[in-house]
């Protein structure tokens, strides 16, 4: 069993809730990564809706940071089930305190296939020629980098984006587990904030809300991603993301509302 599957394992609990443990292995700084926490919630939701195993659209509002190493439970309510889509509301709590509030439309995704309209993935050098995301570069501990490898486009970074707040790169789970819809949720939140690509590491960029639409099951191999912020005002920004699989198929779209703090941990 891969560590990713082990560390997103959720089991039914006695009171109709779902339970597991937030692994500290997915921390950035002292907080579990937001995409990993989203994957935990969805791991519970998909068990409650076996006919609709895939997250078509998931919105998480982060109410309070998670705590790595501590148990969590997920209280969920199925709001609607149809032939194509099941809708669920869920709350992920630790120590009796709500951490994530989640609203998800679940369904069944097809295998990746070609489609019109889809924007092409970023042109990237091969991963070994890219820059590894590193704790040193961001000045913060990143346990998560023992779980996922994130490679950044060497031309990105301050001054490299032609005046745009962009970042792009490739990611994979380090123990060889191939990507799926759940891993796509993690990759939607595993890159440095795109605004760093314009302004450098401006501080802590905590996510208020993250929505990910998963479009297809990814093919095996690296997943590529591009993120961009087109607006930053009053200390709040929106970051858009697109994720593709190794065959160039669009796998997911993401958007988050985040705050920009002048100081604190970076990421």
Q: Which residues bind its own copies (CB under 8 A)?
A: 56-57, 59, 61, 63-64, 79-80, 84-85, 87, 89, 98, 101, 103, 105, 107, 109-110, 113, 115-119, 164-165, 198, 208-209, 211, 213, 215-216, 229-236, 238, 250, 253, 255, 257, 259
Between 55 and 170, CB nearer to its own copies:
55
Between 135 and 238, CB nearer to its own copies:
238
Least spacing, CB of residue 4 vs its own copies, in Å: 25
Between 141 and 209, CB nearer to its own copies:
209
SS3 for 177?
Answer: coil
Between 116 and 176, CB nearer to its own copies:
116
Between 213 and 247, CB nearer to its own copies:
213
Assign 3-state DSSP to the chain and report helix, strand, coil percentages, each to 5. 15, 40, 45
Between 51 and 236, CB nearer to its own copies:
236
Instruction: Kindly state the tokens that stand for 36.
Output: 């990993």
> What is the rounded distance in angstroms from the CA atom of residue 85 to the CA atom of residue 258?
29
Least spacing, CB of residue 84 vs its own copies, in Å: 7
> What is the rounded distance in angstroms from the CA atom of residue 132 to the CA atom of residue 39?
23
> Longest C-alpha distance within the chain, in Å?
55
Task: Decide: 172 and 131 in contact? Cβ < 8 Å.
Answer: no
Least spacing, CB of residue 183 vs its own copies, in Å: 19
Length of the chain: 267
> What is the rounded distance in angstroms from the CA atom of residue 257 to the CA atom of residue 41?
19
Pairing of strands 97-107, 86-94: antiparallel
Provide the CA 253 distance to its chain's centre, in angstroms.
11
């Amino acid at each position: 069993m891969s560590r990713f599957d082990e560390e997103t394992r959720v089991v039914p609990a006695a009171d109709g809730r779902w339970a597991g443990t937030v692994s500290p292995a997915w921390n950035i700084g002292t907080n579990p990564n937001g995409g990993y926490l989203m994957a935990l919630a969805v791991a519970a939701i998909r068990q409650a809706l076996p006919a609709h195993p895939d997250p078509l659209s998931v919105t998480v509002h982060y109410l309070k940071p998670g705590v790595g190493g501590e148990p969590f439970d997920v209280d969920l309510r199925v709001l609607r089930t149809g032939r194509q889509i099941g809708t669920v509301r869920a709350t992920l709590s630790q120590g009796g305190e709500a951490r994530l509030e989640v609203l998800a439309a679940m369904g069944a995704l097809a295998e990746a296939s070609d489609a019109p309209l889809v924007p092409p993935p970023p042109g990237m050098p091969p991963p070994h020629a890219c820059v590894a995301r590193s704790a040193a570069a961001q000045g913060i501990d990143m346990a998560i980098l023992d779980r996922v490898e994130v490679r950044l486009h060497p031309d990105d970074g301050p001054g490299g984006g032609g005046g745009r707040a962009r970042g792009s790169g490739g990611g994979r789970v380090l123990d060889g587990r191939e990507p799926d819809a759940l891993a796509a949720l993690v990759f939607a939140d595993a890159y440095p904030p795109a605004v760093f690509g314009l302004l450098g590491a401006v501080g802590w960029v905590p996510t208020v809300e993250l929505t990910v639409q998963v479009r297809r099951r990814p093919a095996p191999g690296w997943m590529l991603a591009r993120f961009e912020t087109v607006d930053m005002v009053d200390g709040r920004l929106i970051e858009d993301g697109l994720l593709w699989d190794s065959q160039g198929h669009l796998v997911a779209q993401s958007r988050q509302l985040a705050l920009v703090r002048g100081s604190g941990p970076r990421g």
